[in-house]
């Protein structure tokens, strides 16, 4: 479809049968992409969308802000998130994707209060402070970099070893952007593995 739309030729690399069979495996095995460890933490809690929220999902192709705020305000859920984050080895560079901006700040404060190095970046964070926090994250002075909707594209932190997706999404594009923050392999200055 894209070839027809842009009236051009599709350029495909000639990397052999192994590439053709499974491009992701091909790039993982060669160190261009990190190997992933996908861990699903099941809390046992169930959440439902009301009728209005179901309609909004259909229109917006993602979960509505009101539903995400309810999750962000759930004390039991937050306790489970914090326990899980604190169980990570100290010094693990982790990007935390929260349900709301306030949720990102909350998680950062709780992690810091528990002796871990955490910071938050939001759309209101000045460019100077944002650069400083990202630099601190890259060099290991910040262990948890919390955000909501900011660190999805145009953000480069190749040594990210863990992505904590604390906000659900029904958007495949958003999910891929978030997960992609941790997939840079060693050949691109990243990590061998990312959780």
How many Å apart are CA 167 and CA 106, to the nearest integer? 14
How many Å apart are CA 99 and CA 128, to the nearest integer? 25
- Please, are residues 167 and 174 in contact by the beta-carbon 8 Å criterion? no
How many Å apart are CA 135 and CA 152, to the nearest integer? 17
Q: Of 56-65, 81-90, 140-149, where does mean pLDDT reach its minimum? A: 56-65
Tally Cβ neighbours within 10 Å of residue 187.
11
- pLDDT above 80 (res 13): no
| Average confidence score pLDDT of the chain | 90
Which range in 3-17, 42-56, 103-117 is most confidently predicted, on average pLDDT?
103-117
Beta bridge partners of 36: 194
How many Å apart are CA 105 and CA 30, to the nearest integer? 38
- pLDDT above 70 (res 122): yes
- Please, are residues 136 and 119 in contact by the beta-carbon 8 Å criterion? yes
How many Å apart are CA 21 and CA 27, to the nearest integer? 12
Dihedral of CA 17/21/23/29: which sign?
negative
- pLDDT above 70 (res 160): yes
What is residue 7's predicted lDDT score, i.e. its pLDDT?
63
Q: Of 27-36, 109-118, 150-159, 163-172, where does mean pLDDT reach its minimum? A: 150-159
Q: Which of 83, 97, 92 is nearest to 41 (CA)?
A: 83
Q: Which of 70, 79, 80, 73 is nearest to 48 (CA)?
A: 70
How many Å apart are CA 181 and CA 153, to the nearest integer? 8
């Amino acid at each position: 479809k894209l070839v027809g739309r842009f009236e051009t030729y599709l350029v495909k690399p000639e990397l052999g049968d192994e590439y053709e069979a499974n491009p992701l495996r091909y790039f993982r095995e060669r160190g261009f992409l990190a190997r992933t460890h996908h861990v699903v933490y099941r809390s046992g809690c169930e959440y439902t969308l009301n009728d209005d929220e179901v309609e909004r999902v259909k229109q917006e192709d993602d979960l509505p802000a009101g539903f995400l705020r309810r999750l962000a305000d759930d004390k039991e859920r937050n306790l489970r998130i914090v326990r899980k984050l604190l169980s990570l080895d100290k010094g693990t560079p982790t990007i935390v994707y929260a349900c709301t901006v306030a949720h990102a700040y909350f998680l950062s404060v709780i992690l810091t209060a528990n002796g871990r190095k955490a910071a938050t970046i939001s759309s209101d964070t000045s460019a100077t402070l944002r650069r400083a926090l990202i630099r601190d994250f890259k060099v290991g002075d910040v262990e948890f970099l919390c955000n909501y909707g900011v660190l999805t594209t145009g953000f480069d932190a190749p040594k990210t070893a863990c992505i904590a997706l604390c906000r659900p999404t029904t958007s495949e594009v958003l999910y891929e952007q978030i997960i992609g923050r941790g997939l840079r392999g060693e050949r691109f200055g990243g990590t061998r593995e990312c959780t």
